[in-house]
């Protein structure tokens, strides 16, 4: 037997799910369970997402989930969050781990905690695995200091998704690590799997999924998609807020996550194209729709592509205007500044997480 307790608005909600004996988990302090050679996230000064999500759902705002792969991205994220006093979820994808080395990334995240303090405002920082695609990857992250993981079984059959997600939850919760699951498939490329069309989340499945798996948050598919080409020219760039509403009525107050939430600012696309880039017909999600979603139970909004555009625009501009420049700090510095401004703008004008740290 397993009992989960969620805070839904001002009420306690008890979810009693029956599990077979070999799946039964016991509430054991995660720190005690950490093996000698593993690093718990609390040692790194990080937090899991539980309290942040409870407050975000209640307060009608969303926590920024920004991806990072290098030092400049991390600096920009922390500076933006400190200056706006926003909590933050630092996201690391499998690709980021392969690119930058997971040991370095984890220690950068540890440094970020101290860096925020040094800047004068310690903000709550979650270190989250983005789009985990196997139990082993999630386990490795949990053992090396991540405070939150996503297990993305959205491409599997419903039953296989439930089984895999539940397995990760059982392990993660022993370590006090929070877990995000996903139901529905986003169009575009997700986990190196390409899908032509959206498979929207079916509201009638969500209650069963969260009950059976015990996830702490649920990513849904309502028309967002990864990358810079979310809609074709002439299409109505709208997300299905009606499906979101229906999901909310099925699992009131349960933390919802939106992936693929870049807005693809057209001024950045223009700057890139004016300086040698070739981004044709790049279209994103309107910020007004994301602002609307953030007021609901959507409490985590994932933004990566907009940051890539901001950095690329700044780098292209410097190199085009100063072809004699070859010190990376001279183009990565402006890229970092531009990224910081973009992230501050999102926090204040889209997510509403400013002054919530
Ligand atoms: O959802 C995907 C994120 O934007 C991370 O992308 O797998 O290229 O690191 P990546
Ligand atoms: P974008 O590509 O829209 O920025 O989405 C990022 C994302 O969902 C990361 O998981
Ligand atoms: Zn995503």
Q: What is the pLDDT of residue 198?
A: 84
Closest by alpha carbon to 198, among 123, 259, 266, 267?
A: 259
The pLDDT of residue 193 is 63
pLDDT confidence of residue 22: 37
Closest CA to 191 of 129, 145, 258: 129
pLDDT digits (tens, 9 = 90+) for 259-293: 999 999 999 999 999 999 999 999 999 999 999 99
User: What is the number of the ligand 2 atom nearest to the C-alpha of 186?
Assistant: 8
What is the pLDDT of the chain when averaged over all its residues? 90
Q: What percent of the chain has pLDDT over 90?
A: 84
Q: Who lines ligand 1 at CB under 6 A?
A: 67, 93, 95-96, 130-131, 226, 304
pTM for this prediction? 0.89
Judged on CB neighbours under 10 Å (0-12, 13-18, 19+), 18 is exposed
Q: What ligand 2 atom has the least distance to the C-alpha of 67?
A: 9
Q: Which pLDDT score is estimated for 188?
A: 76
Query: Which protein residues are within 6 Å of ligand 2, measured from CB?
Result: 67, 130-131, 226-227, 259-262, 302-306
Say which residue the tokens 């994932």 belong to.
302
In 3D space, the residue among 60, 119, 109, 72 whose CA is nearest the CA of residue 89 turns out to be 109
Ligand sitting nearest the alpha carbon of 302: 2
Taking only the tens place, the pLDDT of each residue in 85-103 is 999 999 999 999 999 999 9
Question: Given ligand 1 and candidates 66, 90, 97, 130, which is best to mutate, with the most ligand atoms within 8 Å of its CB?
Answer: 130
Q: What is the pLDDT of residue 50?
A: 98
Residue 198 to residue 181: CA distance in whole angstroms: 17
């Amino acid at each position: 037997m397993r009992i989960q307790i969620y805070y839904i608005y001002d009420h306690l909600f008890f979810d009693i799910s029956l599990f077979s004996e070999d799946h039964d988990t016991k509430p054991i302090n995660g720190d005690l369970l950490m093996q000698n050679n593993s690093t718990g996230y609390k040692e790194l000064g990080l937090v899991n997402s539980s309290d942040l999500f409870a407050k975000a759902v209640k307060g009608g705002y969303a926590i920024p989930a920004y991806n990072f792969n290098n030092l400049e991205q991390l600096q920009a994220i922390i500076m933006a969050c400190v200056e706006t006093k926003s909590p933050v979820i630092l996201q690391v994808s499998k690709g980021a781990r392969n690119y930058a080395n997971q040991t370095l990334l984890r220690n950068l995240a540890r440094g970020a905690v101290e860096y925020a303090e040094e800047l004068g405002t310690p903000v709550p920082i979650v270190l989250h695995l983005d789009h985990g695609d196997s139990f082993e990857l999630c386990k490795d992250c949990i053992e090396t200091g991540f405070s939150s993981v996503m297990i993305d079984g959205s491409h599997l059959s419903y039953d296989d998704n439930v089984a895999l997600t539940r397995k990760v939850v059982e392990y993660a919760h022993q370590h006090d690590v929070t877990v995000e699951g996903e139901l529905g498939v986003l169009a575009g490329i997700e986990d190196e799997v390409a899908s032509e069309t959206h498979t929207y989340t079916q509201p009638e499945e969500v209650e069963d999924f969260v009950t059976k798996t015990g996830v702490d948050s649920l990513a849904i598919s309502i028309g967002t998609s990864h990358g810079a080409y979310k809609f074709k020219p002439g299409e109505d760039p709208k997300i299905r807020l009606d499906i979101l509403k229906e999901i909310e009525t099925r699992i009131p107050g349960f933390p919802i996550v939106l992936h693929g939430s870049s807005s693809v600012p057209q001024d950045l696309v223009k700057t890139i194209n004016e300086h040698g880039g070739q981004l044709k017909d790049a279209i994103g999600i309107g910020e007004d729709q994301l602002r609307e979603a953030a007021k609901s139970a959507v409490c985590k909004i994932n933004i990566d592509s907009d940051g890539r555009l901001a950095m690329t625009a700044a780098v292209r501009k410097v190199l085009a205007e100063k072809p004699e420049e070859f010190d990376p700090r001279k183009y990565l510095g402006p890229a970092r500044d531009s990224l910081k401004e973009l992230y501050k703008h999102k926090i204040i004008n889209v997510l509403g997480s400013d002054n919530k740290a």
